[in-house]
Amino acid sequence: MAHDSQPPVVLVVDDDMAARLMTRIALEEGGFDVLEAEDGIPALDIFRSQKIDVVLLDVMMVELDGFATCAAIRQMPHGQHTPIMMMTGLDDTASINSAYDAGATDFVTKPINYGVLTHRVRYMLRSARNADELRRSESRLEKAQAMAKLGHFNWAIDTGEFECSSEIERLTGVASGTTISTIAPLLACVHPDDRGAVDTQFGNAIAGGESLQLGCRVLLAQGGTAHVHLEATCSTVPETGARVVSGVAQDVTERRRLEGLAHKLAYFDTVTGLPNRTTLRKDLGQALARAVGSDSVVAVFSLDLDNFKRINDTLGRDNGDSLLKTVAERLQACLRRRDGAFGVKANVRAGDFVARTGGDEFYVVLTQFRSAEESAVVARRMLEAIAQPVNLGGEDLVLSATAGISVYPVDGTTADQLIDRADAAKNHAKAEGRGRYQFYTSAINARAFERLSMENNLRKALQQEQFELYYQPKVDIRTGRFTGAEALVRWRHPDLGLVSPANFIPIAEETGLIVPLGEWIISAACRDIAAWRSQGLPDVRVAVNISPVQFAAAELPLLLSKALLAAKLPVEVLEVELTESLLMTDTEQSIAVLAELRALGIDVWIDDFGTGYSSLSYLRRFPIAGVKVDQTFVREMDTNANDAAIVAAVIALARSLNLAVVAEGVESELHLRALANLQCDYAQGYFYSPPLPAAAFARWVTEHRGPLARAI
């Protein structure tokens, strides 16, 4: 089609030069551009190489006549829809028929009325453009419908003529152009369960001349089921009174599937298929709404699996996931057993459900209790169910869980309140020792508040660097010389003053704040050591305490080497103190980290030795420099025979393993002498110095360059 700004191009094909001339003159006068050809062959060449909007074709030509030329143009890809006017004799009906057979658009009889010719050509061009536009809009519609899986149909009820688009053919298996006297052939594709409803609605629509909208399932000829949305109207053609049902149908199967999937992802946990937190809150809210005004109670159980993180890390996520599924099944089984006390296997009561909100956190909501005490029975049953061995990859694993319970209406009236309080009770139970359950009490709440405020204070303290490091010297008992120090963290709160580590370290560990705090301790120690170096002090070996949480969370060797590098310090200036309980929990992993530290050249000491398991076999496996005997034993060793025996045993044990021993809590010469007799290597305590701020410690080091008091 020609651009609007350019005149349409007409190709005139006639072997009569005079006729061409007159045709040209007439057409040019009418605003067309004209190209001429004297025969079919050159006409096809022109058509191939130029954009032609209309062709005027004479029939009788020497080389290639008009019919053959017309047919040849129709064979060309861009010649399919170009309007072609054949110029024939008025009386030559055979030619006119042949012209149409060859694909001509129109014909004009000779002699040609040139005054009218331009109008005929213009009209033909306009219809061609309209047809072109229609074709394109039809193809657009078809594409759009195909994309939307949308189809349309028309059914003339009285004549039975049924016309439809290809999508309807696909859905119904009924071909367009079929005659359908009843709706039965269309109903045949509808799922038997939906057929009755569709039939009724169609019947009503036809009888009442109304519209209908319905959803139904369709059994596809190629197999499978499609969900279809159908809208149709029944109308009467005013002129003829004929009734027509016309409508659209859309295959919404994929949309349904995606909606279902989106719903599932939004409201359910993907691992266990249980409701997630959103659904928990919604369904619990509904259960509470139902409970209002009744005298039944609702119980919310918050459950954690003990040590699940470690299991997950050790056994891998797939095993962890299958463990979570097992727990989910067992909890649900407990719901079913609620009424099973009489030996009847019951269904889950309406309103009761299990939810998983992430990690190893489960919630159970039980409704229609008569008293809160009943829920204790269920809690015990749930913990027992979880404690049954699980076979995972051929190995029996025993789990335990800790639960907290809150009860409507006494502990709260909203879903959020009850969930929070069940959590608080669970955390309290954990602190008391895992594998148990705990009802919520207001005392728990107070503690939770205190904890929360402590947590917030700690966060602020980290931001504002309210922490300080104190240093307590270690002395070689044999030489009496200072050999190093232990770095001890202090929290100087702006209002509370110095806060004891015993008060804030456990909370820092629970909340994970110990990780940034530990990082601060390491880099602060390095900063202090570097400062002392620049003041001309000899290198001070500082031992930093590493919390079990930090040991598990951070890449400790990397963290230490980075801090040393940042302060431009040699590796020997740092040592690490770890509690022995840490090493008991994850042996293989621990040995790997310890070996890495040793390879770096960082000595590791076992802190508080004697208070935990003190297993000889463990000690033997760990690449460590030595142990520190807990100050509680040392302090009492001159008055308490048991303590003295422990200290002696620890020292003997360490010596047998070629480990060095530091005695903490050395407060008197008496202590020192006893330790020397036991061949203890180092001493630390008030006898030499209390823990000192960095500046005071630097002075102490300067003043004690020589040997200190010795036992011998």
Partner 1 sequence: MQQLEIMLDAQAIAALRALQVPGRPSILLRVMDLFASSAQALVAELEQALESGDLPTIMRAAHTLKSSSANIGATELAAHSKRIEQCGRDGDLDGCRRHAEGFKPLFDATLVAVAALRGAEAA
- Say whether residue 494 binds partner 1 (CB under 8 A): no
CB-wise, 112 or 584, nearer to partner 1?
Answer: 112
CB-wise, 14 or 306, nearer to partner 1?
Answer: 14
> Residues in contact with partner 1, total (CB under 8 A)?
20
Stretch that binds partner 1, among 55-63, 70-78, 599-607, 623-631 (CB under 8 A): 55-63
- Say whether residue 21 binds partner 1 (CB under 8 A): yes
Q: Which of 1, 6, 29, 263 binds partner 1 (CB under 8 A)?
A: 29
How far apart are CB 80 and partner 1 at their closest, in Å? Answer: 29
- Say whether residue 13 binds partner 1 (CB under 8 A): no
Stretch that binds partner 1, among 56-64, 181-189, 280-288, 305-313 (CB under 8 A): 56-64
Sign, Cα dihedral of 416, 419, 425, 428: negative
Structure tokens at 68: 């053959």
CB-wise, 56 or 150, nearer to partner 1?
Answer: 56
How far apart are CB 109 and partner 1 at their closest, in Å? Answer: 10
Structure tokens at 683: 């001493």
Angle subtended at Cα 681 by Cα 675 and Cα 684, rounded to the nearest 5 degrees: 75
Closest CA to 362 of 436, 412, 312, 423: 423
- Say whether residue 148 binds partner 1 (CB under 8 A): no
- Say whether residue 15 binds partner 1 (CB under 8 A): yes
Stretch that binds partner 1, among 9-17, 216-224, 520-528, 700-708 (CB under 8 A): 9-17
Q: In this structure, which amino acid lies at residue 374?
A: E
Q: In this structure, which amino acid lies at residue 528?
A: D
Q: Which of 50, 51, 62, 231 binds partner 1 (CB under 8 A)?
A: 62
- Determine the distance from the C-alpha atom of residue 603 to the mean position of all C-alpha atoms in its chain, rounded to a whole number: 42
Q: In this structure, which amino acid lies at residue 259?
A: E
- Say whether residue 158 binds partner 1 (CB under 8 A): no
Listed in sequence order, the residues at least 6 apart from 444 whose beta carbon sits closer than 8 Å to its beta carbon are 421, 424, 425, 428, 438
Work out the number of other CB atoms within 10 angstroms of the CB of residue 512: 12
- Say whether residue 16 binds partner 1 (CB under 8 A): yes
Stretch that binds partner 1, among 18-26, 221-229, 602-610, 611-619 (CB under 8 A): 18-26
Strands (E), 7-149: 9-13, 33-37, 54-58, 84-89, 106-110
- Say whether residue 97 binds partner 1 (CB under 8 A): no
- Say whether residue 35 binds partner 1 (CB under 8 A): no
Residue 697 · residue 482 · CB < 8 Å: no
Strands (E), 625-687: 626-629, 660-663, 682-683
Listed in sequence order, the residues at least 6 apart from 301 whose beta carbon sits closer than 8 Å to its beta carbon are 362, 363, 364, 365, 366, 375, 378, 379, 382, 403, 404, 405, 422, 437
- Say whether residue 110 binds partner 1 (CB under 8 A): yes
How far apart are CB 147 and partner 1 at their closest, in Å? Answer: 53
- Say whether residue 120 binds partner 1 (CB under 8 A): no
Residue 563 · residue 556 · CB < 8 Å: no
**Cis ω for the linkage preceding 501 (within 30 of 0):** no
CB-wise, 30 or 83, nearer to partner 1?
Answer: 30
- Say whether residue 93 binds partner 1 (CB under 8 A): no
Stretch that binds partner 1, among 57-65, 280-288, 323-331, 476-484 (CB under 8 A): 57-65
Q: Three-class SS string for 302-353?
A: EEEECCHHHHHHHHCHHHHHHHHHHHHHHHHHHHHHHHHHHCCCCCCCCCCE
How far apart are CB 118 and partner 1 at their closest, in Å? Answer: 10
- Say whether residue 244 binds partner 1 (CB under 8 A): no
Stretch that binds partner 1, among 15-23, 228-236, 262-270, 694-702 (CB under 8 A): 15-23
How far apart are CB 238 and partner 1 at their closest, in Å? Answer: 46
Q: Which of 6, 97, 113, 677 binds partner 1 (CB under 8 A)?
A: 113
Structure tokens at 552: 């598990």
CB-wise, 17 or 289, nearer to partner 1?
Answer: 17
CB-wise, 29 or 373, nearer to partner 1?
Answer: 29
Angle subtended at Cα 506 by Cα 503 and Cα 508, rounded to the nearest 5 degrees: 100
- Say whether residue 31 binds partner 1 (CB under 8 A): no
- Say whether residue 111 binds partner 1 (CB under 8 A): yes
Helix spans in 356-500 (H) = 372-387, 415-432, 442-464
How far apart are CB 13 and partner 1 at their closest, in Å? Answer: 13
Environment class of residue 603 by beta-carbon count within 10 Å: exposed (0-12), middle (13-18) or buried (19+)?
buried
Listed in sequence order, the residues at least 6 apart from 318 whose beta carbon sits closer than 8 Å to its beta carbon are none
Q: Which of 100, 114, 520, 687 binds partner 1 (CB under 8 A)?
A: 114
CB-wise, 17 or 452, nearer to partner 1?
Answer: 17
Q: Which residues contact partner 1 (rule: CB under 8 A)? A: 15-19, 21-22, 25-26, 29, 58, 60, 62, 89, 110-115
